[in-house]
Amino acid sequence: MSLPFIDLAAQQARLRPALDRAIARVLDSGQYVMGREVVELERQLAEFCGVKHCLACANGTDALQLALMALGIKAGDAVFVPSFTFAATAEVVPLTGATPVFVDVLPDTFNMDPESLKRAIAHARAIGLNPACVIPVDLFGLPADYDALNPIAWENGMKVIGDSAQGWGGVYKGRIAGALCDISTTSFFPAKPLGCYGDGGAVFTDDDELAALVNSLRQHGMGKDRYEYARIGINSRMDTIQAAILIEKLSIYADEIEARQDVAQRYSQALSGRYETPSIPEGLKSIWAQYTIKVGSAEERDALQARCREAGVPTAIYYPIPLHVQGAYSAFPADPAGLPVTENLAGRVVSLPMHPYLASQVQDGIVAAVLG
């Protein structure tokens, strides 16, 4: 057995004729950047998650940077981020001149811990920073606990940017990830649950003013007219071909999210007797960007991965080294109580193949390899 970790080919086979037609339409139009399909995609994405504005851009990292720039985040500001995430969440903060402050996560959901956030805010103030923004991450597809995190941010005069690169479209108490805080972002990197065939990203907000700012900032700080500049911006436009591809993929996204529930449920049924399987709080729905279990120790994880490799089953570790201990980030402040949960998880998590087209017989083989 030799399996893909994410089977993009199965999805492409399902959509190929429609994708070919969509790409051909863009080739015929000659509008290769920010063309008609980009505007249509923005409309559909905004409708899907229930926000007023969606602004497409070049990738999920730029989406975060655009959000920070639109909020006016600057030197002297503290931006609170988890350490147990992909580097992009923290990377954008120093690029604005602000300081990332690392916050621990909860052991069951892997998402930002509100109590750790409170300690980190007090610490940031004590060292002379201005608490300005919180970036919860919807890790592995599960929305963060926005009802707990938003009030802490707002009471402290901060804004919340939801990093939904892995969780866009997930459900949080009847609402959809992308619409759970002041401004949200996502990534359309090919391996993401809603991915294109290159790089892409988007920013979501209900705030007219923030939307206008992001629109300007993604086009070099454009003013009212084409060669008039109101502010310093960046170049982060979306390619029309990627938008055309995403429109086709969005048409089956809800169906794929449901198929992912079945795959996750089958894993949990088969593995929960032996390992700690993901825990989804009441009223929430993950989009299962990853299916991640916790094993007893790093040694046990090495053995599991070796067994799987032998059987041709790919596994992955997200994330083996927390950001706050990495060379690039270790000088930045963190929750003064430390980040024990993050450090523990880094040594124990392992992710299994996950995509909507994972057949149950194939999954049986994966489970057999995992259990050994």
Ligand X SMILES: Cc1ncc(COP(=O)(O)O)c(C=O)c1O
- Near ligand X by CB under 6 A: residue from 46, 90, 120, 165: 165
C-alpha torsion angle, residues 138, 143, 146, 152 (rounded to 10): -30
Phi, psi of 155 (to 5 degrees): -60, -25
Which x/- pattern over 191-210 shows residues binding ligand X (rule: CB under 6 A)?
--------x-x---------
Q: How far apart are CA 319 and CA 265, in angstroms?
A: 23
174: DSSP letter: T
Say whether residue 137 binds ligand X (CB under 6 A): yes
- Minimum CB separation from ligand X for residue 92, in Å? 9
- Near ligand X by CB under 6 A: residue from 26, 56, 59, 67: 59
- Near ligand X by CB under 6 A: residue from 49, 73, 88, 134: 88
Q: How far apart are CA 249 and CA 356, in angstroms?
A: 13
- Near ligand X by CB under 6 A: residue from 86, 168, 275, 332: 86
Binding residues for ligand X, how many (CB under 6 A)? 15
- Near ligand X by CB under 6 A: residue from 65, 109, 150, 187: 187
Q: Residue 92 region, left (φ>0) first, then alpha (ψ -120 to 50), else beta? A: alpha
Task: Please give the structure tokens belonging to residue 92.
Answer: 């954008």
Say whether residue 141 binds ligand X (CB under 6 A): no
Say whether residue 150 binds ligand X (CB under 6 A): no
Instruction: Check: CB of residue 52 under 8 Å from CB of residue 211.
Output: yes
Q: How many CB atoms lie within 10 A of CB 286?
A: 27
- Minimum CB separation from ligand X for residue 88, in Å? 4
Cβ distance to ligand X smaller for residue 59 or 219: 59
Q: How far apart are CA 87 and CA 73, in angstroms?
A: 19
Cβ distance to ligand X smaller for residue 188 or 275: 188
Say whether residue 89 binds ligand X (CB under 6 A): yes
Say whether residue 286 binds ligand X (CB under 6 A): no
82-90, 140-148, 275-283, 293-301 -> range binding ligand X (CB under 6 A): 82-90
291: DSSP letter: E
- Near ligand X by CB under 6 A: residue from 7, 37, 48, 61: 61
7-15, 81-89, 305-313, 358-366 -> range binding ligand X (CB under 6 A): 81-89
Instruction: Check: CB of residue 2 under 8 Å from CB of residue 206.
Output: no
Cβ distance to ligand X smaller for residue 88 or 263: 88
- Near ligand X by CB under 6 A: residue from 80, 110, 189, 275: 189
- Minimum CB separation from ligand X for residue 190, in Å? 10
Q: Looking at this protein, which amino acid is placed at residue 65?
A: Q
The angle subtended at Cα 308 by Cα 307 and Cα 313, nearest 5°, is 160
E-strand ranges in the chain read 53-57, 77-82, 99-103, 130-134, 159-163, 171-172, 175-176, 183-187, 201-205, 284-285, 291-294, 349-352
Cβ distance to ligand X smaller for residue 56 or 165: 165
Say whether residue 142 binds ligand X (CB under 6 A): no
85-93, 151-159, 263-271, 307-315 -> range binding ligand X (CB under 6 A): 85-93
Say whether residue 99 binds ligand X (CB under 6 A): no
Say whether residue 236 binds ligand X (CB under 6 A): no
Say whether residue 292 binds ligand X (CB under 6 A): no
How far from each other are the two terminal CA atoms of the chain, in whole angstroms? 15
Nearest alpha-carbon partner for 75 in 101, 107, 97? 97
- Minimum CB separation from ligand X for residue 127, in Å? 26
